[in-house]
């Protein structure tokens, strides 16, 4: 090997990472049209057989607010997911938790209707107000009750903080603000905190510093998860930066589906197949069969009838011959 002078040692990357597929929730919620329940069920069943171990399936939001996910109960009743795959549902408030628990307790199938809940709020007042029409303090107070009750009900809990790396309304978001919210969620029972770059404002240097500081500040016991949107094409660069800071948990959407209701024009999560392709090429394990995942992405492209943002879906897996 040719020596070009001193080089910084490469940071140790995690040997394997956990990936939660959020397309059936983050993705389907943000499609202009309502996807047929039977298509959702087929796609979830297909995703659950790719080696993915974590799937966010749907949301217990008010059907008049998000009609795209009004069939949450029907989807959860109909899917046939292997027991090793944990299913999570998004819970906006106590009413949502009531509905989710009622469904779970009335569910007479072999596996629980879902294993995990995901609660969310934004790091800034303006985005939280635009998204859920509450102040951050009001959201936190409500979610603390949701988390306490969900833990009592035996559910694993994730708290997602949106616009954690920058806000389309307020600009800069201080990491201290985000960590203070994370600490409240952890104290209330969250075992995992997802940090959302909801409108793709993060850059890799910022992400690396953020996750190093987050681990320091939030301790070793809580799982820290990166949730990047690819709005400005920096999603995978941000993944590498997060890996370098020791982050080993990611959320992504097959087909690069996804978005955010506010502001209009927010685009998709990083594509799960692009994430898996990059990680496998770097020797980082995911447990996911990329070909099977690509088949899911082709299927959802057919259902939606439009080209999707995913690159690997177009190019295919890397072939070294």
Q: Which is nearer to Zn ion, 101 or 253 (CB)?
A: 253
Burial label, 149 (beta-carbon count in 10 A; 0-12, 13-18, 19+) = middle
Stretch that binds Zn ion, among 19-27, 132-140, 203-211, 304-312 (CB under 5 A): 19-27
Q: Which is nearer to Zn ion, 26 or 273 (CB)?
A: 26
Q: Cβ of residue 3: shortest distance to Zn ion, in angstroms?
A: 43
Residue tagged active-site, from 157, 167, 260, 296: 260
Stretch that binds Zn ion, among 26-34, 147-155, 232-240, 280-288 (CB under 5 A): 26-34
The verdict on 71 binding Zn ion (CB under 5 A) reads no
Q: Cβ of residue 98: shortest distance to Zn ion, in angstroms?
A: 25
Cα 114 to Cα 87: distance, rounded to the nearest angstrom: 5
Q: Which is nearer to Zn ion, 40 or 227 (CB)?
A: 227
The total of other beta-carbon atoms located within 10 Å of residue 173's CB is: 20
Tell me if residue 260 is catalytic: yes
The verdict on 244 binding Zn ion (CB under 5 A) reads no
The verdict on 197 binding Zn ion (CB under 5 A) reads no
Residues contacting Zn ion: total by CB under 5 A: 1
- Beta strands 116-122; 156-162: pairing state: parallel
Stretch that binds Zn ion, among 22-30, 74-82, 181-189, 209-217 (CB under 5 A): 22-30
Q: Cβ of residue 258: shortest distance to Zn ion, in angstroms?
A: 5
The verdict on 256 binding Zn ion (CB under 5 A) reads no
Q: Which is nearer to Zn ion, 101 or 196 (CB)?
A: 196
Choice from 19, 25, 26, 293 touching Zn ion (CB under 5 A) = 26
Q: Cβ of residue 173: shortest distance to Zn ion, in angstroms?
A: 16
Cα 111 to Cα 118: distance, rounded to the nearest angstrom: 19
Q: Which is nearer to Zn ion, 115 or 197 (CB)?
A: 197
The verdict on 115 binding Zn ion (CB under 5 A) reads no
Interface contacts to Zn ion, rule CB under 5 A? 26
Catalytic residues, by residue number, are 260
């Amino acid at each position: 090997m040719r020596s070009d002078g001193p080089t910084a040692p490469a940071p140790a990357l995690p040997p394997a990472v956990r990936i939660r597929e959020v397309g059936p929730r983050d993705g389907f919620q943000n499609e202009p049209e309502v996807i047929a329940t039977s298509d959702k069920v087929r796609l979830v069943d297909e995703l659950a057989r790719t080696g993915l171990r974590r799937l966010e399936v749907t949301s217990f939001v008010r059907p008049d607010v998000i009609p795209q996910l009004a069939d949450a109960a029907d989807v959860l009743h109909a899917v046939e997911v292997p027991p090793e795959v944990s299913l999570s549902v998004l819970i906006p408030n106590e009413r949502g938790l009531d509905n989710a628990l009622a469904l779970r307790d009335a569910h007479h199938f072999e596996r629980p209707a879902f294993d995990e809940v995901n609660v969310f709020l934004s790091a800034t007042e303006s985005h939280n107000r635009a998204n859920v029409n509450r102040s951050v303090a009001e959201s936190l107070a409500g979610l603390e009750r949701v988390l306490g009750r969900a833990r009592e009900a035996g559910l694993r809990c994730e708290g997602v903080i949106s616009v954690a790396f920058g806000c389309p309304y307020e600009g800069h978001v201080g990491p201290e603000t985000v960590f203070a919210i994370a600490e409240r969620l952890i104290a209330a029972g969250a075992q995992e905190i997802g940090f959302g770059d909801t409108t793709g404002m993060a850059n890799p240097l910022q992400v690396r510093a953020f996750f190093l500081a987050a681990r320091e500040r939030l301790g070793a016991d809580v799982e820290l998860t990166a949730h990047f949107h690819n709005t400005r094409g920096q999603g995978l660069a941000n993944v590498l930066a997060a890996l370098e800071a020791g982050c080993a948990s990611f959320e992504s959407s097959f087909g690069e589906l996804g978005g955010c209701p506010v502001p209009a024009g927010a685009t998709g999560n990083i594509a799960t197949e692009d994430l898996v392709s990059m990680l496998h090429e770097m020797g980082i394990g995911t447990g996911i069969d990329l070909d099977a995942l690509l088949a899911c992405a082709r299927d959802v492209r057919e259902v939606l009838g439009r080209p999707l943002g995913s690159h690997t879906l177009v190019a295919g897996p890397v072939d070294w011959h």
